[in-house]
Structure 1
């Protein structure tokens, strides 16, 4: 369990490039995750170098749109836009951002049957397992990572910039850590677990 115990959400990165082989190992770890009905609902897009400029611009445009309330996707989450701006600065600093696209995903405004909604939930669980595998693999390789959800403030802009079929499901900043945060408090097992025998 050392990787699980040592994994941290990293928000400060060195500008040291991440070797392509290490990124490949991390993506491979993601691909080994369990998935509902073995659908493997993921496609990985690695953004680094000059390509970061377009990605950061798309993210910034989405944050501005949400802040101004123009066609806001998350109008009831406006209080979190400041935190999303901080996330944008982290993405700018991190050498690599990994995006996970769900090629089986429904558009947010698509009508869905109960069965399709269940598939979406199962696919989201599968992608979560892939993301966790990737954070643990990064830790084993001496890299820091940050699982990012603030990308949903720029959902439309990033989907358009990524230019793929499917839906943006997750993102992860990746690089060599320039901080060493301690573990954050966790709920006790008494709070979390109910045992029935």
Structure 2
């Protein structure tokens, strides 16, 4: 893997081919994900891999919630686009924080530490998928359906994100990025 090339060429994919991913590939991606850095080695991430009928059930939940919110005149973010991408993807992985709802002394700093760790795990998952020739879409629109998804999946831990994974059916151009110079202060002694 050419790490710099994978980072440079990675794109958010919203159109996927109708092609299954071998289970061994998903397992290899998850194995690599477990090597992500983790504050205090807490490894707060938990993953639920959805395929086939279970993925379809998730999409139905999100579609129903989105339609209900639209009828009420409520914000739906980019749910419709996310649902479309998830429907086309071979796999959707739900990402949970295992500790935020259970630790008695869970505080703001632990939440920040665990959130950073989970973000690092998701990024490793994205880069690993890219190296396997797969496209991904990091999805946060699941928050609009968080309560319904957690109930359906029988999870009491905190839903943090979803990741759609599949064989890309598009080659998007790079999105505009700020220069590091515009967001960095360089201090010298």
1:166 matched to 2:169: no
2:133 and 2:18 mapped to 1: Cα distance? Answer: 15
Q: Is the 8 A contact 1:9 1:145 kept in 2?
A: yes
Q: Look up the match of 2:86.
A: 91
What is the deviation of 1:183? 1.3
Structure 2: give runs of 5+ residues left out of the alignment: none
Q: Counterpart of 1:180 in 2: which secondary structure?
A: coil
After superposition, residues 72-91 of structure 1 pair within 5 angstroms as 78=75, 81=76, 83-91=78-86
Q: Look up the match of 1:140.
A: 131
Q: Which 4+ residue blocks in structure 1 deviate beyond 2 angstroms?
A: 64-70
Q: Look up the match of 2:100.
A: 105
Q: Is the 8 A contact 2:77 2:141 kept in 1?
A: no
After superposition, residues 12-161 of structure 1 pair within 5 angstroms as 12-69=15-72, 78=75, 81=76, 83-106=78-101, 116-161=107-152
Q: Is the 8 A contact 1:62 1:155 kept in 2?
A: no
TM normalised by structure 2 equals 0.90
2:63 and 2:99 mapped to 1: Cα distance? Answer: 27
**Structure 1 residues 53 and 189, CA, compared in 2 at 3 Å: closer, same or farther?**
closer
What is the deviation of 1:91? 0.8
1:123 and 1:64 mapped to 2: Cα distance? Answer: 32
Q: Counterpart of 2:78 in 1: which secondary structure?
A: helix
TM normalised by structure 1 equals 0.87
Query: Please, which moves more after superposition, 151-160 or 60-69?
Result: 60-69
Q: Counterpart of 2:107 in 1: which secondary structure?
A: helix
What is the deviation of 1:189? 2.0
Structure 1: give runs of 5+ residues left out of the alignment: none
Q: Is the 8 A contact 1:61 1:157 kept in 2?
A: no
